[in-house]
């Protein structure tokens, strides 16, 4: 049973949404052409979370991943000082093309996000080289996050627990209308992270869908407590709700939720049971 589906209705599943029609330019124009208040607050917290972690724990450059990177570079920029490689993992073909186009020289409007990051020393230290560092670190990988770790459970892929820092922004709740799939998307992200890895994840609160250009995409309506209850299974987390009117980026959501934390060393038993109950073919 899908816990969030209103009685009698069937939620749109990830496989049924029009990802091939996702327009990165329309998405950027609406969300990231300028630095909005909500993103500034999120970015400051994520910057401080990663800086605090690596101030104590930095031995050598690590592997990072941004899951469902879409047309947003600020999660990748937030990981840049510590990463030798950052995988930008994305499903929609036009977003993959956009990310590839940004590798050699990311567009100038991302510099307003960088300005906020460079208030911390680790970012300031690479300020002059930031574009070169980004170009060398970024690997754009086209794929489906539900495949990211699943096959690891039967030993076919080495990705589980591979990434030592990770981000997933506005993805798990914004790729499906199904609460079950939302949970699985969170699990896929968390299982991709190495024990102890610092991570940040952001969620739209109270959203039932969103438009990019003329195209509608599904969302799962989640609350702060639902997000917390799932994320705490996988790590030690801090959670913030951004619910002021200045945090709203469009009609049809009630706020944003940010979670920063560290991946547990152990494998959450509830996750294992969810995975074992998953159909082998996704969504069937
Ligand atoms: C609302 S956008 C968020 C994009 C970006 N992370 C941001 O912060 O703005 C949701 C993203 O999830 C991607 N996505 C949807 N289903 C996916 C899947 N199964 N695997 C990987 N990415 C997926 C979409 O293509 C889109 O880029």
Percentage of residues in the chain with pLDDT exceeding 90? 78
- Asked whether residue 281 is assigned to any structural domain, the reply reads no
CATH code, domain carrying 264: 3.40.50.150
Alpha helices in the chain (DSSP H): 24-31, 37-57, 74-79, 93-103, 111-117, 121-124, 130-137, 179-192, 224-231, 269-276
Q: Say how many domains are in the chain.
A: 1
pLDDT classification of 148: cutoffs 50, 70, 90: confident
CA of 142 to the centre of ligand 1 (A): 11
User: By alpha-carbon position, which residue is closest to atom 13 of ligand 1?
Assistant: 68
155-161 CB contacts, 8 Å cutoff, 24+ apart: 159/192, 160/191, 160/192, 161/191, 161/192, 161/193, 161/194, 161/195
User: By alpha-carbon position, which residue is closest to atom 15 of ligand 1?
Assistant: 175
Structure tokens at 224: 């702060």
The answer to whether the CB of 263 falls within 8 A of the CB of 234 is yes
**Ligand 1 pocket, Cβ-based, cut-off 6 angstroms:** 14, 19, 22, 68-70, 72, 90-92, 95, 144-146, 169-171, 174-175
- Asked whether residue 29 is assigned to any structural domain, the reply reads yes
Pocket-testing residue among 88, 91, 110, 159, ligand 1, by greatest number of atoms within 8 A of Cβ? 91
Query: How confident is the model at residue 52, as a pLDDT?
Result: 97
- Asked whether residue 238 is assigned to any structural domain, the reply reads yes
Query: How confident is the model at residue 55, as a pLDDT?
Result: 96
Domain span at residue 204?
A: 14-276
The answer to whether the CB of 31 falls within 8 A of the CB of 74 is no
- Assign residue 68 a region (left: φ > 0; alpha: ψ between -120 and 50; beta: otherwise): left
Structure tokens at 121: 């020393």
Residue 217 CA: nearest ligand 1 atom is 1
Answer yes or no: is pLDDT of 175 > 60: yes
pLDDT classification of 49: cutoffs 50, 70, 90: very high
Percentage of residues in the chain with pLDDT exceeding 70? 87
How many CA atoms lie less than 13 Å away from 278 in the CB half-sphere? 24
How far apart are alpha carbons 124 and 115 in whole angstroms?
9
- Asked whether residue 7 is assigned to any structural domain, the reply reads no
- Asked whether residue 8 is assigned to any structural domain, the reply reads no
User: By alpha-carbon position, which residue is closest to atom 4 of ligand 1?
Assistant: 70
- Asked whether residue 283 is assigned to any structural domain, the reply reads no
The answer to whether the CB of 209 falls within 8 A of the CB of 219 is yes
The dihedral over CA atoms of 236, 241, 242, 248, expressed in degrees to the nearest 10, equals 110
Pocket-testing residue among 43, 68, 250, ligand 1, by greatest number of atoms within 8 A of Cβ? 68
Residue 32 CA: nearest ligand 1 atom is 9
- Asked whether residue 46 is assigned to any structural domain, the reply reads yes
CA of 55 to the centre of ligand 1 (A): 30
pLDDT classification of 66: cutoffs 50, 70, 90: very high
- Asked whether residue 282 is assigned to any structural domain, the reply reads no
How far apart are alpha carbons 79 and 166 in whole angstroms?
8
Classify 167 as helix, strand or coil.
strand
Residue 148 CA: nearest ligand 1 atom is 20
């Amino acid at each position: 049973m899908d816990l969030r589906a209103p009685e009698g209705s069937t939620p749109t599943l990830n496989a049924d949404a029009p990802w091939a029609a996702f327009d990165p330019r329309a998405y950027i124009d609406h969300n990231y052409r300028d630095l909005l208040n909500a993103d500034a607050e999120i970015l400051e917290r994520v910057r401080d979370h990663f800086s605090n972690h690596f101030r104590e724990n930095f031995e050598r450059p690590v592997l990072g991943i941004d899951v469902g990177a879409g047309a947003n570079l600020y999660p990748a920029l937030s990981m840049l000082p510590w990463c030798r490689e950052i995988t930008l993992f994305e499903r929609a073909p036009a977003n993959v093309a956009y990310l590839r186009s940004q590798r050699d020289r990311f567009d100038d409007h991302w510099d307003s996000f960088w300005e906020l990051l460079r208030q911390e020393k680790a970012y300031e230290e690479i300020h002059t080289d930031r574009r070169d560092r980004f170009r060398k670190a970024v690997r754009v990988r086209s794929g489906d996050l539900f495949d990211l770790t699943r096959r690891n459970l039967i030993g076919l892929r080495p990705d589980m627990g591979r990434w030592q820092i990770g981000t997933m922004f506005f993805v798990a709740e914004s790729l499906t209308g199904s609460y079950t799939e939302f949970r699985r998307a969170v699990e896929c992200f968390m299982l991709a992270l190495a024990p102890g890895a610092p991570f940040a994840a952001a969620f739209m609160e109270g959203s039932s869908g969103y438009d990019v250009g003329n195209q509608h995409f599904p969302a799962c309506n989640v609350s702060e407590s639902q997000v917390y209850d799932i994320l705490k299974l996988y790590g030690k987390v801090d959670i913030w709700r951004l619910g002021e009117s200045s945090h709203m980026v469009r009609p049809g959501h009630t706020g944003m939720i940010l979670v920063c934390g560290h991946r547990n060393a152990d494998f959450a038993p509830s996750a294992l049971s969810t995975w074992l109950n998953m159909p082998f073919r996704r969504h069937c």
